Structure 1
């Protein structure tokens, strides 16, 4: 979960299923459109989107999967129905060390790029082919959001020397 002053929008999946006759399954496939739409509308209005509860509250592996799925869809957090779910939810909805490192590297490279009055830079993908990924304004924005979320969670942000 992210600490922020932004208001939130939550998805009450069980209410939605009851109202629409949707049959909820472990795959969550029947809720993909609705969950995606909720994230898109929430973000369009500057809201954080909070995902549905995991009703399988004793299945930690399923909870982790459902949290990761929600994070990939763009949710900022998840509702909990049992105290045992809180740590898993918290640990899933923060950037990973790899994501934080990549974001910090992007911020560093883009600061150098902007200082050189350029708008984009190639980020080394670290593979044997020497592949590079183009980094420009939208990716800079994503990196800034990742670092902001990491800071709010009290996570370490690596620094790169100039």
Structure 2
């Protein structure tokens, strides 16, 4: 699943038809029509109708997902009821704390006539309880498509004054949340998605952070502005040297159970898996 996962996931406020249309034309692999954080409390009911209208428009190529409000708000079921008829490609569940929450959203989707296999992306590090559960519980669920992490809500839940240091790097508790989510996602057999880079004017910083995430095994990155899409795609495009190495690894190991030599070094099945990932990124269907 990670080989075909969207690289860029762009949020667009669900109460703004103009911003949703702009996001769909940004070149992003997936656009998330947001009913949660980017919508003011007094605009949430209207946002459902605006998002439903956006879903009713002809698809433009980007996958269209809907982020519902968290389960503890009492708004989630109505969010699903208002949007599932528009045929979204999937749902995003914020403040998810485990497989039980995924099952609850899946039941809502089914209850309102949605496809039983409609995929769900969860944001799994927005509370301290969620981070603890990532390390101790199995998050596997048939509807789970990918797991992402977020640092802004987690900072608020921890009472932290910042999630990044003066050098721009994430502070240790937030790196712990990121790393734990990565392990939990891979244990569940789904893609891991990196969090947003909030300074949308710093393309170089975004590109460096996205490239580091790609190296670690993250399949994509969340975005908050259309200007961020190009930098994310650039970071997720393998270099010519990486592609050359991958092609030679595949040629040396494809169909073999043992090891081989390449450039004077031993290579084996883990190298083959890494090579296949590089080639999948090169051939990404989203490009």
**Aligned position for 1:151:** 283
In the TM superposition, what is the alpha-carbon distance from 1:69 to its structure 2 partner? 2.3
Q: Give the TM-score normalised by structure 1.
A: 0.78
Q: 1:27 aligns with which of 146, 150, 169?
A: 169
Give, in whole Å, the separation in 2 of the partners of 1:37 and 1:92: 23
Q: 1:36 aligns with which of 160, 173, 179?
A: 179
In the TM superposition, what is the alpha-carbon distance from 1:154 to its structure 2 partner? 7.6
Q: Give the TM-score normalised by structure 2.
A: 0.46
Give, in whole Å, the separation in 2 of the partners of 1:67 and 1:83: 15
**Unmatched 5+ residue regions in structure 2?**
6-118, 120-143
**Aligned position for 1:3:** 4
RMSD of aligned residue pairs (Cα, Å): 2.3
Equivalent pair of 1:2/1:94 in contact (CA under 8 Å): no
**Aligned position for 1:134:** 266
Number of residue pairs aligned between Structure 1 and Structure 2: 144
Q: 2:153 aligns with which of 12, 15, 22?
A: 15
The structure that is strand-richer by fraction is: 2
Offset from partner CA, 1:10-43 (integer Å, 9 cap, x none): 1121111111234212111432221111111101
Give, in whole Å, the separation in 1 of the partners of 2:262 and 2:159: 47
Q: 1:121 aligns with which of 260, 263, 267?
A: 260
The worse-fitting range, judged by mean Cα deviation, of 92-101 and 48-57 is 92-101
**Unmatched 5+ residue regions in structure 1?**
125-131, 156-162
SS at match of 1:49: strand
1:29-108 equivalences under 5 Å are 29-30=171-172, 31-108=174-251
Higher relative contact order (CA 8 A, sep 6+): 1
Give, in whole Å, the separation in 1 of the partners of 2:286 and 2:149: 27
Residues 152 and 55 from structure 1, CA distance in 2 versus in 1: closer, same or farther, beyond 3 angstroms?
A: same
SS at match of 1:152: coil
Give, in whole Å, the separation in 2 of the partners of 1:87 and 1:138: 30
Offset from partner CA, 1:49-80 (integer Å, 9 cap, x none): 11110011111111112212222332111101
SS at match of 1:7: strand
Residues 121 and 27 from structure 1, CA distance in 2 versus in 1: closer, same or farther, beyond 3 angstroms?
A: same
